[in-house]
Amino acid sequence: MYKIFETVDEVSRYTAQRLLDKIKATPAAVLGLATGSTMEPVYAQLLQHMQQLAVDVSQLTTFNLDEYIGLSADHPQSYNFYMYQHLFNHLNLPAQRVHLPDGLASHIEEACQSYSAAIQAAGGLDLQLLGIGSNGHIGFNEPQTCFNSRTHVVELSAQTRIDNGRFFADQSQTPSHAITMGILDILEAKEIILVATGPNKTQIMAQLYDSPIDEALPASALKQHPNLTIVLDREAAALLPEHALKSAV
Ligand code: GLP
């Protein structure tokens, strides 16, 4: 299902409301969380609603999608830092229920296996929030990642390093590798919300709309999911065919 809104603000309100509804309906929900600039206004809206409504998050469990290898939790560009800055520092979530891949793990393969196992031990993801890379990656699952993958180490593509280089002082500081939940981990979520906004996502959203399910476009794996919502602003949806736009909202 597509939901298309005029503005980023409306996209973020809608997405935050979906998260809030899930938390209210299922206080012990297991949430899969994402990072990236798309999610910043979503988390800002979510926090605002949560504070106004005094929502109890003490039973929630969270698993983040991915993390750069080689960045410590206190590095300002690590996803760990991002999540505390934008969400966790402002919520009363028990620390033992917050999970992020460890970009400094000494036994990285074991850490990957334990991460997927921990998701399963928690009962699986009730709702997975996703952004999308301009090359169609979800989490850090780059093109040609096997759709049966579990949490694993990836080498970031040149495109991803260029895109994400904007967050680093210079391109050469963008990490070359990351840990990401696998595509199968993501697909096993009971519900998935993919959010894309702005002109940098226009091309890939049009490509995704037309694409068959194909490992060359990681987000196309989501087309086989029974409970997927794709939330776009007008810019990201600009090249979708007219009939898709009409049936979207
Ligand atoms: C990174 C993350 C992805 C995210 C993507 C889009 O590469 N690993 O999970 O979806 O960026 O980020 P942005 O929202 O900044 O465009």
Strand partners, 62: 31, 98
The residue to mutate among 39, 164, 177, 180, having the most atoms of ligand 1 within 8 angstroms of its beta carbon, is 164
Q: Any residues with CB less than 8 A from the CB of 178 and at least 6 apart, and which?
A: 66, 67, 68, 69, 103, 140, 153, 154, 156
pTM: 0.96
- pLDDT the model gives residue 243: 85
Closest residue CA from atom 11 of ligand 1: 36
Query: Is residue 22 within 8 Å of 59, Cβ to Cβ?
Result: no
Could you say which of 64, 99, 102, 135 is catalytic? 135
Residue 156 DSSP label: P
User: How far is Cα 213 from Cα 91, in angstroms, rounded to an integer?
Assistant: 38
Could you say which of 67, 102, 126, 142 is catalytic? 142
Q: Is residue 137 flagged as an active site residue?
A: yes
Share of the chain above pLDDT 90, in %: 87
Strand partners, 138: 141
Query: Is residue 64 within 8 Å of 130, Cβ to Cβ?
Result: no
Closest residue CA from atom 3 of ligand 1: 139
C-alpha 160 – ligand 1 centre gap (Å): 9
- pLDDT the model gives residue 249: 67
Average pLDDT over the chain, rounded to whole? 95
Find tokens 């196992």 and name the residue.
Answer: 117
User: How far is Cα 73 from Cα 63, in angstroms, rounded to an integer?
Assistant: 15
C-alpha 146 – ligand 1 centre gap (Å): 19
**Main-chain dihedrals φ then ψ at residue 167, nearest 5 degrees:** -90, -10
Q: Is residue 66 flagged as an active site residue?
A: yes
Q: Any residues with CB less than 8 A from the CB of 20 and at least 6 apart, and which?
A: 46, 49, 50, 53, 55
Span 63-91, average pLDDT: 95
Q: pLDDT at residue 165 above 80? A: yes
What the block records as the tokens of 131 is 């952004």
Span 89-109, average pLDDT: 94
| Cα–chain center distance at 249 | 22
Query: Is residue 11 within 8 Å of 233, Cβ to Cβ?
Result: yes
C-alpha 137 – ligand 1 centre gap (Å): 8
The CATH class that applies to domain 2-247 reads: alpha beta
Find tokens 């520092």 and name the residue.
Answer: 89
- pLDDT the model gives residue 25: 95
- pLDDT the model gives residue 246: 78
Please choose, from the candidates 24, 106, 16, 17, the residue with its C-alpha nearest in 3D space to the C-alpha of residue 59: 24
Span 84-99, average pLDDT: 94
Q: Is residue 163 flagged as an active site residue?
A: no
